[in-house]
Structure 1
Amino acid sequence: MENPTRRAHTMPFGAELRPEGGVRFRVWAPTQATMTLTVEGRGDAVPMTALADGWHECVVDDLGAGARYRFGLADGTAVPDAASRHQPDDVHGPSEVIDPRGYAWGDGAWRGRPWEEAVLYELHVGAFTPEGTFRAAIDRLDDLVALGITAIELMPIADFPGARNWGYDGVCLFAPDASYGRPDDLKALVDAAHARGLMVLLDVVYNHFGPEGNYLGAYAAPFFTDRHETPWGAAINFASPTVRDFTIHNALHWLEEYHFDGLRLDAVQAIMDDSEQHLLEELAERVRDHLGGERAIHLILENEENHASLLERDAAGRPEHYTAQWNDDVHHVLHTAATGEDAGYYADYAGDTRQLARALAEGFSFQGEMMPYRGSPRGEASRHLPPTAFVSFIQNHDQIGNRAFGERLTTIAPAHVVRVVAAMYLLAPQIPMLFMGEEWGASQPFPFFCDFGPDLAEAVRNGRRAEFARFPEFRDAAAREQIPDPIGEGTYLAAKLGWDDRRRAPHDEWLAWYQRLLALRHAEIVPRLAGIGGHAGEHAIVGEGGVAVTWRMGDGSRLNLLANPSEGQFSGVAMPAGRRLWQEGAVMADGLGAWSLIWSLETHDGAGA
């Protein structure tokens, strides 16, 4: 490789290789008067110098990459580095010094892709392949390109306790989990994806740390605060400049050192911050100031509160802070229509076609209105935002895995119904996201799984079953016993994709169908998304269960959807004008049968040719 690119993000903490040789170690330990450094294979601990504001530092001149180390507290406790780049023996083991410039990148010319070209594919590295590693995932990238995917989105990979986890229990946020491979293996995955024109996004968790392996409280108690509460325990203290810096450096580290094309921030409504400037705003500004000039960076939110203000565009139509948000509203309306389920939060969407029409046309279906299930208003006005500010889907890790048995939509809804809801979101101007295996109707479930130590395992097992006790079908203890054990290895193994299924019916038919839809999207929809603005969508209700939505596209053309996601039928309506792009189900001269739809396109001159 000629003139390979070397990358590193320099951090003010952790283990940093010095240009002149040796390693500088730095840790924020404001509750410790003294700290030491212990290096495996060496005898005496090295005293660290106490600096101002709770920092401790030392330099070891004759040390380099590969050294394994721990920090020592005054009481003799040895802890890993919270800013470790690698934890080869998991969260309780020593940290390893990594040379981030040791990997020779081949993607020096990569500048990313425009957001309107995104077709996302969410995947869990461990369950994506039989091997469950970064390197093994490379072997499947060509399959995703052939499908029509342009961006993969990795579920969280920050080091978590045990051999398996969804990833939302990370504690060493700078270290890719060793069960998936070493740091260079992750870089090889990103590099290989870029070579194929694929963007790579990473799911990051800044709202809490996992319950096992988080040692920060032992030496940096101010990292947490009791001013706020989260569903997962102690809230992170974002009023502290050091804690904010730690978090922002984490985002920059993934984007710069690993060359990710963007981040998806998990459950940002639980990032509690009453500072003058919220962490979310500062993080986005720092990322865009640091990297936005050299390549396309996409920042995605998951946000239960539907804060449209975080998605605002500037005068040129560029995101001021965040590029897009996962649109749960589209999912919930389509899911309740397809399955008939109305328990929990689904009750606020079931049978409400207006919610679907509004979510497709305007982004959010709840834009400040009262949401009965939660008992409070939800959301902000979103119609002024472009459709590309929203990511739509009919399946993701949460909506599958939060079910007791982790069933996929194709196992709980008829195939003709799934085709209609899939065709609705795959061709809409919002950015579509598939969940791994969706494209061939994978039969493998995706249940919740983890691998905590004995102190937590039983509590997690019991908590998972208690969570479903309020549902009628699980009120009986015997029924709850049938729920897969989240700690059991078999639960994890059951989630691994069966790639060979793609060659057998009906999975091969599903795969061919998804390929055709995505080819149509790339040919007809994507070229018209550049420049699409706010107020692009108009919607109406047709009959008792139908929707009609029209979007003015970036090139002035009009994209039309007439859909009937219900068991009824309607007639006597004007059919959408223009050239028909796609149809499903029974389409009549003046209406639609049950579970049917039409997509059509009118060019800007009105010809529709």
Structure 2
Amino acid sequence: MTSFSAMHDSGLPNMSTRPPEMQAELQAGHSWGVRPVGVAQDGDLCWSAALWAPEVATADLVVDGARHPMTKGADGVHRASVSAKAGRPYGFDVGQGLRPDPAARAQMGDVHGPSRLSDPQYDWPESESHWAGRPFEEAVILELHIGLFTPQGTFRAAIDRLPELAAMGITAIEIMPVAQFSGVRGWGYDGVLPFAPHNAYGPPEDLKALVAQAHRLGLAVILDVVYNHFGPDGAYLHELAPAFFDPDRSTPWGAGINYSQPAVRAFFLENVAMWIGEFHLDGLRIDAAHQIKDHFSPTMLEEIAATARACAPDRGLWLILEDERNLAAPYRPEGPFDAQWNDDYHHALHCLLTGEDESYYAPFAHAPLDDLVTALGEGQVDQGQPRPADAPARGVSSGHLPPRAFVVSNQTHDQVGNRGHGERLISLVGDEAARVAHGLLLVLPFTPMLFMGEETGETAPFCFFADFPEPMAEATRKGRQKEFERFASFSGKVPDPISADTFRMSRPYQGPALRQKEWGNLTGEFLAYRHAQIVPLLKASGDRAIAEMAQITAIGPKALHARWALQGGVLELAVRFGPQSETPSSEFSLFPADLAIGDWQSDPCALRVRCVKEA
């Protein structure tokens, strides 16, 4: 495991612009032995424990019921050493009873019980030493939830599904958050123990086995991480270290985190180091990056990226942001991140197909085809202009970025699961339009991402679900129902988010085998074409700006023609999501297609694609 101090020596950003006291603390060398919180193994039976709790006078380390007084340093860290066997229960007591370790690697049970002394060593297969990652231009991402991806809902069971994904042309899986959360079922965004893989999915070594097998098959593994808040049940950091949180700031999901504290920054950077260095992950997707707010240079986000890359200097990493601000500076070639989730593309396409116009869809419902034209030609739709005219401006120009900087999708856990009934796009628009939208996504020059089941035409909903205790459970039920009652288009009751039935009904891959096969064949056909024809052009194009290559033209009320002059060839497509009575503009000439869905002359929805290589 690479320590924080070692990573700093290996090339973390210069910290000279920070206040001197912060710089001194960070450069003092937080390692796995002396980090602000957590327990590290010093030998077969020796463990060093540290708990950052500056407001607490005394603290005990409790192992197997035996108390070991801790010594508090001037830095607010309580420390102790103990001899014990791996696997034994432990926790901290600051006068209010036993509490789990906020940096526990594993729990004995739920988030309220003791943590488990965990040996991080793992016997990686020899093949792992040859894995160098994959170029980001090759990325075709499948977002998945471990608890639903298989009937067993475990890391081990997921291993058996990987070969079919690789054979289909998927090149990466993006796993929704696995940090341990309250109860058994949940999306993962209410995690409270960031270092502990959720024990319902299996022990940490099972996640490492999943990563190793993915790499054998040529699949990269990205993990969705939540560094902007903690969940509402089991987050004992509020009690152990109130200074961990910013009293003047909150997020929509919980208390804001105080990134001005060196120990807080080190906590999350150690977490980054663990996932990349110890678990060999190929990348991170940073959830709600706009809520990771600080005023230092380098910023917390910059340090996250630098830490990750320092942990894997010889392995290609994919670092992706979810950031509603529509910024451009963080992304390569200038910035440290590879890409962002481009929800603008999703919203424009969704409004064009469904006609929905409520909530955040409203700005995209006025002229969705025009917005889709902008998204295909420049990446973001919101680029600093107020939309609508009286709304605050959002975003900056993005056309100078390369296509790979935009992760585009037709469905995600957010866009499906945050509907009242969790309907997938295919249930809203039907198979014909969904097939064309699906094919379109897979041949765009951007980075495509699918949501589990989408690759096989899944129609089962994906609902919001949780497993909170009462009275939090009832409050969640009422809050969820009230949230959707303000929408004129919504009727009925939302599925009970606490019920196990809601969880089960959200499981994909249970539909007719023939349907799954037909959609899987469609996905495989389009991805084979992508890898053979489009990816080489994207690699050759390097950092060329999307706006310099794109020529996107509306050719009807719900139809467009797109042409990207990539290095070494041209990618061209025509797509229509409207009735055949619509007449294309006179500038459009039908071209011979390499791939097609539907008949352009007769079908309401159709797609034509070709690549023309330069001689």
Q: TM-score, normalised by structure 2?
A: 0.90
**1:51 counterpart letter in structure 2:** G
| Among candidates 10, 13, 18, match of residue 42 of structure 2 | 18
> Gaps (5+ residues) in structure 1?
1-5, 315-319
**Is contact 2:277–2:311 with CA below 8 Å preserved after alignment?**
no
**2:235 counterpart letter in structure 1:** N
| Among candidates 535, 556, 562, match of residue 543 of structure 1 | 556
**2:305 counterpart letter in structure 1:** A
Q: Secondary structure at 2:324's aligned position in 1?
A: coil
Work out the CA distance in 2 between the residues paired with 1:577 and 1:491: 47
% identical aligned pairs: 43
Work out the CA distance in 2 between the residues paired with 1:515 and 1:163: 34
Q: Secondary structure at 2:190's aligned position in 1?
A: coil
The residue correspondences of 1:303-322 to structure 2 (distance < 5 A) are 303-314=323-334, 320-322=335-337
**1:487 and 2:511 are equivalent in the alignment:** no
Q: Secondary structure at 1:309's aligned position in 2?
A: coil
**1:566 counterpart letter in structure 2:** G
| Among candidates 405, 408, 414, match of residue 389 of structure 1 | 405
Report the Cα offset of residue 542 of structure 1. 2.0
Which residue is 1:31 aligned to? 55
Report the Cα offset of residue 374 of structure 1. 9.0
> Gaps (5+ residues) in structure 2?
5-30
Per-residue Cα deviation, 1:485-505 (whole angstroms, up to 9, x for no partner): 001111111112234x3523x
| Pairs aligned (count) | 579
Which residue is 1:430 aligned to? 446
Work out the CA distance in 2 between the residues paired with 1:68 and 1:416: 55
Q: Secondary structure at 2:263's aligned position in 1?
A: helix
Q: TM-score, normalised by structure 1?
A: 0.91
Which residue is 1:363 aligned to? 379
Q: Judging changes above 3 Å, is the alpha-carbon distance between structure 1 residues 300 and 46 closer, same or farther for their aligned structure 2 residues?
A: same
Which residue is 1:203 aligned to? 224
Which residue is 1:182 aligned to? 203
Per-residue Cα deviation, 1:426-480 (whole angstroms, up to 9, x for no partner): 1001011111111221232110000011131111110000000111244xxxx54
**Is contact 1:160–1:171 with CA below 8 Å preserved after alignment?**
yes
**Is contact 2:3–2:273 with CA below 8 Å preserved after alignment?**
no
Report the Cα offset of residue 410 of structure 1. 1.4
Q: Judging changes above 3 Å, is the alpha-carbon distance between structure 1 residues 145 and 52 closer, same or farther for their aligned structure 2 residues?
A: same
Which residue is 1:439 aligned to? 455
Which residue is 2:215 aligned to? 194
**Is contact 2:540–2:568 with CA below 8 Å preserved after alignment?**
no
**Is contact 1:330–1:392 with CA below 8 Å preserved after alignment?**
yes
Which residue is 2:104 aligned to? 84
Report the Cα offset of residue 272 of structure 1. 2.1
| Among candidates 340, 360, 373, match of residue 345 of structure 1 | 360
| Among candidates 68, 71, 78, match of residue 56 of structure 1 | 78
Which residue is 2:538 aligned to? 529
Which residue is 1:317 aligned to? none
Worse-matched range after superposition: 509-518 or 429-438 = 509-518
Q: Secondary structure at 1:127's aligned position in 2?
A: helix
Which residue is 1:517 aligned to? 526
**Is contact 2:352–2:558 with CA below 8 Å preserved after alignment?**
no
Work out the CA distance in 1 between the residues paired with 2:147 and 2:585: 51
Report the Cα offset of residue 159 of structure 1. 0.5
Work out the CA distance in 2 between the residues paired with 1:594 and 1:150: 32
**1:111 and 2:111 are equivalent in the alignment:** no
Worse-matched range after superposition: 571-580 or 188-197 = 571-580
Work out the CA distance in 2 between the residues paired with 1:174 and 1:526: 36
Work out the CA distance in 2 between the residues paired with 1:264 and 1:584: 32
The residue correspondences of 1:146-545 to structure 2 (distance < 5 A) are 146-291=167-312, 293-314=313-334, 320-350=335-365, 351-372=367-388, 375-474=391-490, 479-480=491-492, 482-499=493-510, 501=511, 503-504=513-514, 506-532=515-541, 533-534=544-545, 535-545=548-558
Report the Cα offset of residue 210 of structure 1. 0.3
**1:31 counterpart letter in structure 2:** E
**Is contact 1:163–1:451 with CA below 8 Å preserved after alignment?**
yes
The list of structure 1 runs, each at least 4 consecutive aligned residues, that deviate by more than 3 angstroms after superposition, is 6-10, 102-106, 571-579
Q: Secondary structure at 1:580's aligned position in 2?
A: coil
**1:598 and 2:577 are equivalent in the alignment:** no
**1:509 counterpart letter in structure 2:** E
**1:466 counterpart letter in structure 2:** K
Q: Judging changes above 3 Å, is the alpha-carbon distance between structure 1 residues 103 and 88 closer, same or farther for their aligned structure 2 residues?
A: farther
Report the Cα offset of residue 369 of structure 1. 1.2
**2:359 counterpart letter in structure 1:** G
Report the Cα offset of residue 357 of structure 1. 1.1
Work out the CA distance in 1 between the residues paired with 2:389 and 2:117: 49
**1:564 and 2:567 are equivalent in the alignment:** no
Q: Secondary structure at 1:549's aligned position in 2?
A: strand
Which residue is 1:3 aligned to? none
Report the Cα offset of residue 578 of structure 1. 7.0
Q: Secondary structure at 2:562's aligned position in 1?
A: strand
Work out the CA distance in 1 between the residues paired with 2:589 and 2:195: 51
Report the Cα offset of residue 51 of structure 1. 1.2
Worse-matched range after superposition: 164-173 or 271-280 = 271-280
Worse-matched range after superposition: 86-95 or 579-588 = 579-588
Work out the CA distance in 2 between the residues paired with 1:255 and 1:572: 51
